[in-house]
Structure formats: C-alpha cells, structure tokens
Amino acid sequence: MNVETFKYDNRIVRAFAIATVIWGIVGMSVGMLAAVELFYPGANLNLQFITFGRIRPLHTNAVIFAFVGNGMFMGIYYALQRLCKARMFSDFLSWFNFWGWQAIIVSAAITLPLGFTTSKEYAELEWPIKIAIAVVWVVFTINLIGTILKRREKHMYVAIWFFLATALTVAVLHITNSMTMPASLFKSYSMYAGVQDALVQWWYGHNAVAFFLTTPYLGLMYYFLPKAANRPIFSYRLSIIHFWGLIFIYIWAGPHHLLYTALPDWAQSLGMVFSLMLIAPSWGGMLNGLLTLRGAWDKVRQDPVLKFMVVAITAYGMATLEGPLMAIKSVNSLSHYTDWTIAHAHSGALGWNGFFTFSMLYYLFPKLYNTKLWSTKLANWHFWIGLLGITFYLVPIYVAGVTEGLMWKQFTKDGFLQYPNFLETIIQVVPMFRLRSVGGTLYLAGAILMAYNLYRTAKSGKFEPDTEAQAVPWQKAAAVSHAKTKFHRMLEGKPLVFTVLAVVAILIGGIVEIIPMYLIKENVPTISSVKPYTPLEVLGRDLYIREGCLGCHSQMIRPFRSETERYGEYSKAGEFVYDHPFLWGSERKGPDLAREGGKYPDAWHYNHMDDPRSTSPGSIMPRYSWLLTQQLEVDALPGRLAALRRVGVPYPVGYENGPAQKDLQAQAAQIVADLKQGSVTAQPDREIIALIAYLQRLGTDIKAMPAVTSTNQ
Amino acid sequence: MYKEVLENISGIGLYGIVSILIFFVFFSGVLVWACALSSKYLKNMGDLPLQDNECPEPITHKIQS
C-alpha cells in the first residue's frame, strides 16, 4: 500500500485559539462597559471614544468577528486537516489568514471608537477595512478548497460541507452589502439608498448570523461532538437533511428583520413563512446533536467539554425556535425595537457560540499540549458561573423587552397613550439593565477563569507543533473500491461540483428577494417635496452616523396607532430616496426620530446635547458636550457632496465648490440666530450646529406636501 | 403604497408561490436522496471523525455496497 506520512499543523490552531481567548475577553469587557453605560450614562467619563453609540458596534464586532471568528478558524483549521487527512493547503495562506484577521480586528478596535463607521449593523467597518476583509476571506476560502482538493480521504464528511457553505456565502454577502462610494479614506456612502439599502443590509445581517455564527459552528458540532463523546453522530442521514434544509431556507428569511416597515407585504410574509420552516432543520440538527449522547449522559456529568456542548446545543435549539416565533408578524409588532431582540441575540451568542467555543478550547488545549486539562474542577466552576451568567443576563432583559413593548402600546380607556413620554418606559426598565450587568459580569468572570485554566494547562504540557499522521491517498486506493457511483457519492467526491450546487441553493433565495428590490428602485414613487439634504445637514447626518445615534434611536415609524400617536405620520418609502445609508435602526433606547424636525426649538437640542438630563430628567442618554466645542469639518464637504452625487443624489455639478459653502454658512448663521432667541450663544462653525440642522430636518419634507403622499397609500 | 407599487410589476403575485414551490421540490428531492442512501455507507460516513489520526487505510476499503 502507498501509505503516506504527513503532519497536521497545530501552530495555526494554537494561534487562533489564543486569539479567541484574548478577543473573547476584550469583546465581553466592552459589552460590560456598554451595559453599565445604559444605567449609568456617566460611565464613559465624558469621553467621546467610549460612548455607548461608538462602543456598541465595537462590542458586536469584537464578539462576532474577533471572538467567534477566531474560534471558527481555530475549529476549522483543526477539524479540516483531520477530516481531509492532509495538512492545510498552504502554511503561508494559513498565516496570512491569521495575521490578516488580527490586523482587521485591531483596525476595527481603533476606527470604531474614532467614529469611522458606515452605520450598517455588523458591517460598520469603513471601506479600506472592508476590502481587507474580502482579501483575507478569499485567502481563507482558497486554503479551505485547496486542502479539500488535496485530501487523502475520499469522502467529504458533513462538517466540511458546512465549512464550504460558510466560506462561499459570507463572501457573497460581504461583497453585496459593501458596495459603497468612498468620499475620503475613512468615509463612504452606501451605493443603495433608503428601502433598497435596508433590504440589502438585512438580507446581509440575517445571513451573517446564519453563515458566520451558525453554519460554521454546526460543522464544528458535527466534528467535535462525536470526538468528545467518542461516538458517531446520531444520524448521518439527518445531518444531510439538516445541511441542505438549513442552507436553502436560511437565505429566504432575511425580510423578517423588516416587518411592518416599508418592505413589500409579500416579501414580509415570505420571510415569515420561511422563518417558521427553519424550525424543522434547526431542531433536526439540535436533536441530532443531543441524541448523539444517548447512553453517554454519564460522561456529560464528568466531562466539562460535553457539559458546555450540551448547553450550547440546547441554546441553539432555543434560539432557533424563538427566532422564527419572533418572525411572526404579530409577535414582531411587540418585540421589534425592544430589548427582546437583545435577549434573543444573546441567547445565541452566550449560549450557542460562547459555550461551544469554550467546549472546543477545553478540548483542544490538552490535545495541543499533549497533557490533561490543568483543573477539571475550575472548568466546572466556569460552567456553572457561565450558566448562571446567561440566566442573569437573559431573564431581566426578556422582562425589560416585553415591558417596553407593552408600555409603548398601552392606551388609556379614553384612547390616549398611557405612557406618552417615552422616557417613562425606559426608566421603568433601568433596574433590569442593572441586573443584566450582573449576569454579564458572571459570564465574563467565567471566561477569565477559563483563560487561567488554559494557561496553566499549556504550562503543564509540551506544545506539539505538528502531529504526525499516516494515510493512503484515496486516489491510489481507488482500485480496491467497488462502490457504485451513486449520485451523492459522486457529488461529495467532487468538491467543486458540490460547491457550485451549494452556491446555487443559497443564491436562489437571495435572487428571488433581490430582484424585487431592483424593481422597486424603478418604481418607488418620488415625493416631490422630498429634497436632498443641505450641505450643513449632510455634515450633521455624518455626525449622527459617527456618534452611532441609531444604536438607540430608530427612524422608522411603523403603521400602528401606538406609533403614529406617539411620533406622527408613519414612515413612507419615498422619504428615504436620498438616504445613503438608511438610518432606520433596529433598537429604541430612546424615542424614534423620524419626525423629530420642528418638535423642539434649536436651543432645546443644544442644551439636550450638552446635558440630556437638563431637559429630560432621568434620561440615560450620554452627554455630547464635545459637539459644542469641536469645529465642524467643513473641508470634507466637497468630497462628500461629490460622492453623494456619484451615488445618485442630484446635487448640481460644481455645487460643492463654492455655492455649497455659502449655503452652509447661511444656514449655520440662521441656527445661531435661533439659538440666541433661546438664550444660547454659539459659534456657527461648531459641530452642534450641523447636528441641529439635521435633526430639525428629519421628517419635515413630507409635511410640505401631504396631499401627494396620501394618494399613494 | 407598496402594494400599489408592486401590483404594477407584472406577475409579482407569483413570487411567493414560486418560492414555496422551489423549496418544496428541492426539499422533497433532498429527502428522497437522503432516504435512498445505504445504511452501511451512512455508518462509515458517521465514523469518519473518529478515524482521523494515524489511520493507515483509507475509508474507501470499507465501502463496498
């Protein structure tokens, strides 16, 4: 026999493992700070770089792309080599993947606090970093496919299918959603506007959860669970149905993030139906995982690796049941914009991704260092502290979410809003925010215990940079195989054919949803009174984006009486045609701002930004006093207006060279005069002036010509 | 408003039905295919992760259905 001897690369696995631990702790710590700022707004020490609006995306990016991302690479680089009976395709590409990914994370950690953001959730990084992500991802994909092509094992185990689907789909999603027009090195505008931008963003956002947080980890589950339990997966047949069912259905469900918005009705219903259908493959996968442990539950009692896995898989099941339920329109009308969404996201993040990552780390460190885990007892402590942490996090936040939803919708028997002041509803749930931070602290403490345990494990063993293995390449052994070439075997024997079919499966859903998007583009009735933003408003809007205001304030009034009573006329698609990017938001910690313009005098906004509690006692909004002193970046105006014109906003050619500046100064002078009437003295060249200009513009266009819009309903 | 916009796109009502049909055909196909696989093959596939280290013989020896 032609037995070949080769070595698995453990160095790369260790590198990703260490990065996972470090970034996990960093990401969770940032989350803690954000959580504290929600009940103690002064926790940012009046530093703009760590205000809630700027660190919320830092937290989500750190946890998703740094913690789970590194965890995913760690698991894939370990499992793939062993499943393919081959070293990674190229060591150079492996290390390029590693250092490239870390560089991206570091650049995110620098740019997000500085306020460089596109504002699109989970895609906030500015265009140069987006390009870097695409390059590193392509390198990872080449390394993955290269390894599969040079494998010695003929059959592609189901885990590899999940890895392939992940690599390809994330590439498609990232590129589609990253279409932006640069205005400068760290500023760009989305090529899409308003409704189209929202559709593409949530098609991306939903599937980023599917194909970054779910499919790679399912692949890892199919590898690490049998390894840890030392028994094959309960049903391989079920795993095949799980895979195809999941990747096919997931991509259709994106519209459930936009229920009751300006999205077409049929797309909303389709998103809802496909979301409900998702329960079947998701629960098939969960049961497949849990049933693998049948007859081995005694092991679960003793082995912390299995303990973490069982909770992770159960959390996966719970989150994938809850998600579809939240996609039912009537449930969504209550849950959307509330903390319920935050609770849902964290049941997946803390339970499924977090606990599964911990289980892999506890499994891998002793293997990599050729030793036993330093302390099983400490790992058990981590397990219980982590589980308590999840409970203390989730229960208060669910209570907060449902409370908010009910209070927003509550009418008195005379037909008036019971809680007309939005602030009342938030003050009501502040004690829940406090409790939530206790849960977060416990969870973080558990992760720190793990880091210490893993460090001691590493110290007590000897790192094995390469593991030697032997196998006969299947091509050489093919002569002894008498297997009939059935379709499936042929398929998984040909990774490229398989890859094409998987891409077709995910693209069908994407295409069916995106075609109407382009149709809408040509059919959105323009509202003649909706005009492009003035130069001062453009700069104000950019400040709104920089400060991450949409982390707490939506700009999308849904067609419910409870919303129109509180905020005014519901939002129309035609109002957003010049919004590059859309700023609808997904969360309300403060009131919706879609019709904010003209509600308060300029001086109110000035004082409110300086100290929100001076105008709104009990507000949890941070102070934005730097806006009062920092000079407006007027030099950036020509580049920005030109970029906006290139994406379709009809500014006249040459407007940015002179006329725009004059308009800007005139509007600023007007605002300064208004402020003076409110006993506020301000200079016209400060950032606050631009922000006030933008806030006062919000939702006012439609008021100028109500007759046109009403015929479109 | 959106209903009106989309009603003007010819055949838009078909989108939902076509989507469900595509899914139904696809899922039925996968189901039939998965059910048709031999249990011996499935067992060998399921055993793959447990055979990754220092395995001198490739799995193809074992599949002789």
The answer to whether A661 touches A535, Cβ cutoff 8 Å, is yes
- List pLDDT tens digits, range A383-407: 999 999 999 999 999 999 999 999 9
CA distance A78 to A68: 15
Res. A115: pLDDT tops 50: yes
Put simply, the answer to whether B23 touches A472 (Cβ < 8 Å) is no
- What percentage of chain A exceeds 90 in pLDDT? 75
Cα gap A701→A649, rounded to integer Å: 16
**Do residues A93 and A142 lie in contact, with contact meaning Cβ atoms separated by under 8 Å?**
yes
Is A690 within 8 Å of A633 (Cβ atoms)?
Answer: no
Nearest chain B alpha carbon to A252: B19
Q: How much is the average pLDDT of A570-590?
A: 91
Looking at residue A618, its pLDDT comes to 92
- Confidence band for B62, pLDDT divided at 50, 70 and 90: very low
**Is residue A5's pLDDT more than 60?**
yes
The confidence band for A519, taking pLDDT boundaries of 50, 70 and 90, is low
CA distance A131 to chain B (A): 33
Determine if the peptide bond prior to A581 is cis (ω within 30°): yes
pLDDT over threshold 70, residue A477: no
pLDDT digit string, tens, across residues A419-458: 999 999 999 999 999 999 999 999 999 999 999 999 999 9
Which residues of B fall within a CB distance of 8 Å from A489? Answer: 41
Question: What confidence tier does A254 reach under pLDDT thresholds 50, 70, 90?
Answer: confident
Predicted pLDDT of residue B61: 38
**A54-63, A329-338, A451-460, B54-63, range with the lowest pLDDT:** B54-63
Torsion of CA B34, B39, B40, B45, to 10 degrees: 50
pLDDT of A517 reads 64
CB atoms B23 and A232 under 8 Å: no
Q: Find all residues with CB under 8 Å of A676, minimum gap 6, and list them.
A: none
Whether the predicted pLDDT of A498 surpasses 90? no
Handedness of CA B22, B27, B28, B30 (dihedral sign): positive
pLDDT at A509: 72
A214, A217, A222, A228: CA torsion to nearest 10: -140
- Mean pLDDT, residues B5-9 taken together: 51
pLDDT in tens, A177-204: 888 999 999 999 999 888 888 888 888 8
Query: Which whole number is the average pLDDT over A104-122?
Result: 95
Per CB-CB distance under 8 Å, the chain B contacts of A523 are 5-6, 8-9
Pairwise CB contact (< 8 Å): A467 & B53: yes
User: Comparing A77-86, A310-319, A474-483, A571-580, which segment has the lowest mean pLDDT?
Assistant: A474-483
Q: Return the domain boundaries, chain B.
A: 2-38
pTM of the model: 0.91
Average pLDDT over residues A650-667: 93
> Band of the pLDDT at A255, cuts 50, 70, 90?
confident
> The dihedral of CA B3, B4, B8, B9: what is its sign?
negative
What is the reported pLDDT for A535? 95
Highest mean pLDDT among A556-560, A692-696, B61-65: A692-696
Compare all CA atoms of chain B with the CA of A487 and give the residue at the minimum distance. B33
Q: Which residue has the higher pLDDT, A515 or A91?
A: A91
**Residue A471: what pLDDT?**
86
Short-list A291, A283, A453, A360, CA closest to A16: A360
pLDDT interval class at A51 (50, 70, 90): very high
Average pLDDT over residues A23-40: 96
Best residue in B12, B45, B47, B50 for a mutation probing chain A (most A CBs within 10 Å) = B45
Cβ contact, residue pair A473, B52, below 8 Å: no
CB burial string B3-13: b at 16+ within 10 A, e below: eebbeebeebe
Q: Is the pLDDT at B25 greater than 90, yes or no?
A: no
- Overall average pLDDT of the A240-249 stretch: 89
- Percent of chain A surpassing pLDDT 70: 94
Complex ipTM: 0.73
CA–CA distance, A210 with A261 (Å, rounded to integer): 22
Quick one: average pLDDT of A659-687?
Answer: 94
- Mean pLDDT over A249-273 rounds to 79
A529 pLDDT tier (thresholds 50, 70, 90):
confident
A3 HSE (CA, 13 A, CB side)? 9
- For residue A233, pLDDT over 80 is answered with yes
Mean pLDDT of A624-647: 95
